[in-house]
Structure 1
Amino acid sequence: MSVSILSPSEIQAKLLEKSYAAQKTYLAMYSTWLGGIVKDPSLMMVPVDDHLVHRGDGVFEALKVVNGQVFLMQEHLERLASSAAQIHLQLPMSIEEMRNIILKTTEVSGVQNAVLRLYISRGPGGFTTNPYDSIASQMYLVVTSYTPLSEEKYLNGVKVGRSQVPPKEPWLAKIKTCNYLPNVLMKKESVDRKIDFTIGVDPQGFMTEGSTENIVLVDKNKNLLRPKLRQILKGTTMMRSFELAQALVAEGILDSVQEKDLTEKDIFEAQEVMMIGTTLDVLPVTEYEGAKIGTGKQGPVAQRLLQLLREDMKQGSKVTPVYQTEKVLA
């Protein structure tokens, strides 16, 4: 078998020929390595020796753009900076510069609704585990299409089961690192089982989280409960939802909002169970391990919390407009 040795022009031509369905959702990419924005999905690449590629050595965030506004941008960037600091990864630029690039790249994409995939890597420089081989940290931002779940999912809920994948150690679970192998395996098992999500359970029998989403519930005493943040990622959408839920306490729909160790028994006995995440918003769980949860339909808390969250995305204090920016890349 002959193996071709490709010239730079041949490589570029082949890259432009390559295509697959998901690429249609890739709208724009900013790369510090390239020093600008790329709009052709075939050219959205990172160096093969970037530690992000061969070691998962980096951190990331996923932000949502709704009606031309980025939701919870400051919260996401603060968590990104915290994650980077915990693995001693220096950001390639200031948070303010990052913010301007996010807005400019989103503006270039020309869409009103999107998911922003933001990665900070250790950078290229070698294939060893030595982080000091990398020449400089890098930032990669990809603007992708956002397709919300069907309204049927919000009305009829989703099926959830117990994960067999061991939860991450507490120190690692609190960092949004690009080393996401356990999360990948959790998603695989849910697809293989033909359910929507699986939830981790720690050695003490306490619920942790899904592959990319948090689980919360309303107990029989009308308390909205989330797991303690001991061994889970501090979900930005979950935390904002719990702030908004104080309005439901004032309305008498809820008695309180709390953080508590939760077990499978709590799930089976709950009035309502919900998955909360950046791309999910507030999604009711109506079945856990084959058992019906609550009425088997979207409950009143899930309905009101979803309404409050979506109103917050449109006109709340946590949105940043994309198309009114005057700052441009230097």
Structure 2
Amino acid sequence: MEYVIINGEFINRTEAKIDIEDRGYQFGDGVYEVIRVYNGKMFTDKEHLERLIESGNKINMKISYSVEELRNMLIGLIEKNHLISGTIYMQVTRGISPRNHAFPSSTIHQTFVANTKVADRPFENMKTGVKTILVEDIRWLLCDIKSLNLLGNIMAKQKAVEAGCFEAIQHRGDTVTEGGSSNVSIIKDGKVITHPANNLILNGITRRKVIEVCLCNDIPVEERAFTLEELKQADEAFISGTTVEVTPIIEIAGEKVGNGAPGALTKHIQELFYQAIEKECGSL
């Protein structure tokens, strides 16, 4: 039997239901997070749960659970589903209310759901690297909120799939922002360059961890906007995210990055990130 959480209760997945008038379903009025699980333990769960609450605050929705309450529920879900390697998806919506664009009254209860998924680490992509395309970033201007409104991301990812690529690198005019479901970084002359954490990107938890491990190991990092030309002229490039970890980019819009193989510094960053996982979750 597989369990999910709905509003604090563990329910058989086959019996789980959400009301048709839930605002997440009708408006995308909510926020979400995905946490990676290694060895049955959550990785960077505190950072993810704090960001969930922060995203809620940014849409004027004060989440009714604390970080510790959320964490305890998710630990219980991992144990009930015997999850060793995979992910936990969770979302909070503004609740169930007759359809109306304006917020419902404060007496409406939020809807919190969570479920698990079994998944291995992306070994093959991390080893060989991935191909990418370029797409104009058509999303709204509050990309720092991890909201349920993902149509722009979905359309970008679909274009990548149709082009036989793994990811779509988005740009606003000449400025590179991020991937369809990942952050993008380039390496030039031994320095990691990544878009600053502002409203144009999601400040990825993996992105933050990558910056941390780089700085702790004397790898310079510059958080600034970079151009399409800089992207194309990069020595190395990689995407980062909860499910992709640190994955090399070997091709952008049909052109090779460097020599078309994962670069040495990217491989080193992969190893440093792996060490961070081991420190928190044990040897994999």
Which bin holds the TM-score, normalised by the shorter protein? over 0.9
Q: How far, CA to CA, are the matches of 2:64 and 2:181 in structure 1? A: 26
Q: Cα offset for 1:130? A: 2.4
What does residue 327 of structure 1 align with? none
1:48-127 equivalences under 5 Å are: 48-127=20-99
| 2:190 corresponds to which of 204, 210, 222 | 222
| 1:277 corresponds to which of 230, 241, 258 | 241
Q: How far, CA to CA, are the matches of 1:141 and 1:75 in structure 2? A: 17
The answer to whether the aligner puts 1:185 opposite 2:185 as a matched pair is no
The answer to whether the aligner puts 1:299 opposite 2:263 as a matched pair is yes
TM-score (norm 1): 0.81
- SS of alignment partner, residue 268 of structure 2: helix
Percent of paired sites with the same residue: 24
Q: How far, CA to CA, are the matches of 2:225 and 2:46 in structure 1? A: 28
What does residue 325 of structure 1 align with? none
1:101 corresponds to which letter in structure 2? M
1:1-330 equivalences under 5 Å are: 27-32=2-7, 35-40=8-13, 42-132=14-104, 135-151=108-124, 153-169=125-141, 172-203=142-173, 205-219=174-188, 221-230=189-198, 231-249=200-218, 254=219, 256-316=220-280
1:73 corresponds to which letter in structure 2? D
TM-score (norm 2): 0.93
Q: How far, CA to CA, are the matches of 2:65 and 2:104 in structure 1? A: 18
Q: Cα offset for 1:165? A: 4.5
Q: How far, CA to CA, are the matches of 1:74 and 1:282 in structure 2? A: 20
The gaps in structure 2 that reach 5 residues or longer are: none
What per-residue deviation string (whole Å, max 9, x for no partner) do you get for residues 52-74 of structure 1?
A: 00100000000000012100111
What per-residue deviation string (whole Å, max 9, x for no partner) do you get for residues 270-306 of structure 1?
A: 1110000000010000000111101211111111111
Is contact 2:136-2:172 (8 Å) kept?
no
Q: Cα offset for 1:246? A: 2.0
Q: How far, CA to CA, are the matches of 1:284 and 1:90 in structure 2? A: 37
1:99 corresponds to which letter in structure 2? R
What does residue 3 of structure 1 align with? none
RMSD: 1.7
Is contact 2:177-2:225 (8 Å) kept?
no
What per-residue deviation string (whole Å, max 9, x for no partner) do you get for residues 105-137 of structure 1?
A: 111111211201010110112122122157211
What per-residue deviation string (whole Å, max 9, x for no partner) do you get for residues 67-90 of structure 1?
A: 121001111011111100010112
Q: Cα offset for 1:157? A: 1.0
Q: How far, CA to CA, are the matches of 1:229 and 1:164 in structure 2? A: 19
Q: How far, CA to CA, are the matches of 1:167 and 1:47 in structure 2? A: 28
What per-residue deviation string (whole Å, max 9, x for no partner) do you get for residues 136-195 of structure 1?
A: 1121111111133242x22221111111351431xx111000111111111111111211
- SS of alignment partner, residue 241 of structure 1: helix
Q: Cα offset for 1:43? A: 2.3
What does residue 21 of structure 1 align with? none
Q: How far, CA to CA, are the matches of 1:178 and 1:44 in structure 2? A: 20
Is contact 1:227-1:260 (8 Å) kept?
yes
- SS of alignment partner, residue 153 of structure 2: helix
Q: How far, CA to CA, are the matches of 2:206 and 2:79 in structure 1? A: 23
In our comparison, the structure showing a higher alpha carbon Rg is 1
Q: How far, CA to CA, are the matches of 1:206 and 1:44 in structure 2? A: 43
